Amino acid sequence: MARVWPPVARATTEAAVWLRSARLLVLERLGIGPTVLGSSRRYKADFMGHRRILAWADRHLKRAEAMLEPFRKDYPYRVVLKDHFQVRKEVLKLRRLKGIPHRPPKDLVLVVGDAIHNMRVALDYLAFAVVMKHNPSANKRQIGFPIHDNMTGYANAEPQRLAGTPHAFRQRVQAMQPYNPHVAPHPLALLDALENVHKHRYLLATGPAITSVRYRVVGKGRIVTAWQLATPSGPLKHGAVVARVTKDSAKTKMEYRTLFYVCFGSVGPATGLNFVRTLKDVSRYIRKDVFPALEPWL
């Protein structure tokens, strides 16, 4: 019996269609829409790509939290009470436990870096979509979301970054710049600084830190003077003094509680800040303040 082979042309065509569909699906899942793939007719299909990219950044943050879970369960530091030569004084010091890794997983900084990069790209993607809608002939290599901590820098960057966009849109972007009055640190300034450090210089370090040190008198007595390490603080060091308390009597009993977390390391613009909380705040600011203010021009 003769073997029947499918037509070569038909098989080739079906394979090409399948490969193209799979490629577009992968690009969409990655937050890279078809705007960079073809004609201007396709720009409308991906005008909300910036939100997908930001959602991808949030996935990275969730992955980072999952990576930290084992580290949090076996936290390598404890706060211990050290005897002082003056019986009315108590000193709390950090002690690093032996046999437990005192640093978070090494790959954590890579996941955090991906989250930071995706947040920054989401802003550029939004700016690109707006420029392409209002000025399709703009130089695509120069388009981006400008972030500057001084008015002069922004004024120099705006004509290239937001070329051909409506005046009202540029005013909105200008109002979001870090040089305007805002509670420090400004989310966009922090994001831009973290992105520049991570992309051009070195990996952002993370390490354990202290959120707060709480103490109270148990029973009778009172605290005369007290000092504690400024919080948030980090990264931690073995033997560091966390708090000193002077009591009114040697019989006064104290109760202490110290909360830990993981912070950005000693290198970079966010030293000592809780990295998960900080990046979630940045993501929330972009999603609830930046996007709604600029999406009307899409």
The pLDDT assigned to 18 comes to 52
Domain assignment present for residue 10? The answer is no
Domain assignment present for residue 22? The answer is no
Please name the residue that has the structure tokens 């690109």: 128
pLDDT tens digits along 142-190: 999 999 999 999 999 999 999 999 999 999 999 999 999 887 789 999 9
> Shortest CA distance to 55 belongs to which of 296, 284, 289?
284
Helix, strand or coil, per DSSP, at residue 86? coil
The pLDDT assigned to 268 comes to 64
Domain assignment present for residue 41? The answer is no
Domain assignment present for residue 7? The answer is no
Domain hosting 232: range is 46-297
The pLDDT assigned to 145 comes to 97
Domain assignment present for residue 291? The answer is yes
Domain assignment present for residue 183? The answer is yes
The whole model's pTM is what? 0.71
pLDDT tens digits along 242-291: 778 888 877 777 777 777 677 776 666 777 778 888 999 999 999 999 99
pLDDT tens digits along 183-239: 778 999 999 999 988 775 555 666 666 666 777 777 777 777 776 666 555 566 777
Query: 196-207: b or e for each residue (b if 16 or more CB lie within 10 Å)?
Result: ebbeeeeebbbb
Domain assignment present for residue 245? The answer is yes
Q: Check: CB of residue 81 under 8 Å from CB of residue 242.
A: no
Residue 39 carries which side chain, given as an amino acid letter? S
Is the model's pLDDT at 36 over the cut of 90? Answer: no
Most confident of 8-12, 110-114, 260-264: 110-114
Domain assignment present for residue 122? The answer is yes
The pLDDT assigned to 83 comes to 60
| Domains held by the chain: number | 1
